[in-house]
Amino acid sequence: AQERYAILRDKPAQARCGTEISLKMNAGLLADLPSLPNSGADAVGLFRTELQFLVQDRMPKRSDLVANYARVLDAAAGRKVYFRTLDIGSDKVMPYMNRPDEPNPAMGWRALRVGLDKPGVLRMQLQALIRAAKGRALSVMFPLVATASEFTQAHDTLLREIERERRLGHPLPEKLEVGAMLETPSLAYAPDSFFEAVDFISIGGNDLKQFFFAADRENELVRRRYDTLNVSFLTFLQVIVDRCHAAETDLSFCGEDAGRPIDALALAGIGITSLSMRPASIGPVKSLIRRANLIEVSELIARVQCRGLETARPALLDYVATLVD
């Protein structure tokens, strides 16, 4: 199978109907970057910056961050890297930072909430990203944005740091893209002006699914209880697709489900044309997408919705069984 996927490496993830899906990879450390050319990914669709903070026992210095981000961009060799700002709290705890004891950390003081309430670390990180990307393109996304105003505040913080770097006489990124991770159902119903203000949206499916079904992603008793191909969830994802489409905003999906071929096919079928996943999943996902017709997948999902079924999975499995190699 490995060989079969290697042959596909330089081929596009183009479905039978002609639609091309952009397959990107998730990463978190510089050591992940060699997988970018090896996997044939178009870009790093999610770079989880907190990992660098978690693998050491003290707060990294700004200069460490600049050096690290610059090396990540060097290794990406012109392909885009979507840097996600710190997503700490919940399951990701830094031993050297004081944290309140929270009864429900996944819904607690985490991710962008920390960055907005105590902006010191976020500002340092943004400064490092701006410096590392001098003369190059910089793509930044903020995790767990729940409201339009949280995005505005984060965006303003970034613009202020750019202004500060300019005043200091430092060279700036040549291009800047700023987006939000959509990980709470609330953001799907933000005003139109939000969808117009962001350069892109990236669906954090792991958190979005946890909050949609109220099922803790860390809890073995419930974490597999609800199917990603549950029709309620797919219908909800279609709302996000439609809103991004209406605002002409780029949309991507970067949760673990994007790396499961059948799930990826359904996401592509409802109109999500950019999927970011672990590098090893790119071959299997590409192989299935190239054999499928997304118009048929879309019609199949619509039929399942009409019939009032709970999940589209059996129908998709039947469909996939009919595809020729």
Q: Which helix (H) or strand (E) holds 284?
A: helix 282-291
Distance in angstroms (rounded) separating the CA atoms of residues 199 and 65: 24
* 86 contacts ligand PEP (rule: CB under 6 A): no
Q: CA 30, 126, 65 angle in degrees (round to 5)? A: 35
* 204 contacts ligand PEP (rule: CB under 6 A): yes
What residues contact 17, with CB distance under 8 A and at least 6 apart?
A: 293, 294, 295, 296
Annotate 119-172 with DSSP letters as a single string: THHHHHHHHHHHHHTBTSEEEEEEEEE-SHHHHHHHHHHHHHHHHHHHHTT---
Q: Which partner in Mg ion, ligand PEP, none is near 190 (CB below 5 to 8 A by kind)?
A: none
Q: Which partner in Mg ion, ligand PEP, none is near 255 (CB below 5 to 8 A by kind)?
A: ligand PEP
Distance in angstroms (rounded) separating the CA atoms of residues 201 and 183: 10
* 238 contacts ligand PEP (rule: CB under 6 A): no
- Site residues (CB under 5 A) for Mg ion, limited to 166-205: 183, 204
* 186 contacts ligand PEP (rule: CB under 6 A): no
* 183 contacts ligand PEP (rule: CB under 6 A): yes
Q: Smallest distance, Å, CB 50 to ligand PEP?
A: 8
**Max Cα–Cα distance, the chain, nearest Å:** 62
Q: Map tokens 């767990």 to a residue.
A: 144
* 207 contacts ligand PEP (rule: CB under 6 A): yes
- Return the range that interacts with ligand PEP (CB under 6 A); candidates 70-78, 151-159, 200-208, 297-305: 200-208
* 89 contacts Mg ion (rule: CB under 5 A): no
Nearer to ligand PEP, 161 or 202 (CB): 202
Q: How many residues form the binding site for Mg ion (CB under 5 A)? A: 3
* 263 contacts ligand PEP (rule: CB under 6 A): no
Nearer to Mg ion, 182 or 312 (CB): 182
DSSP assigned state of 259: G
Q: Smallest distance, Å, CB 321 to ligand PEP?
A: 29
DSSP assigned state of 24: E
The residues that touch ligand PEP, with contacts defined as CB under 6 A, are 46, 48, 87, 183, 204-207, 254-255
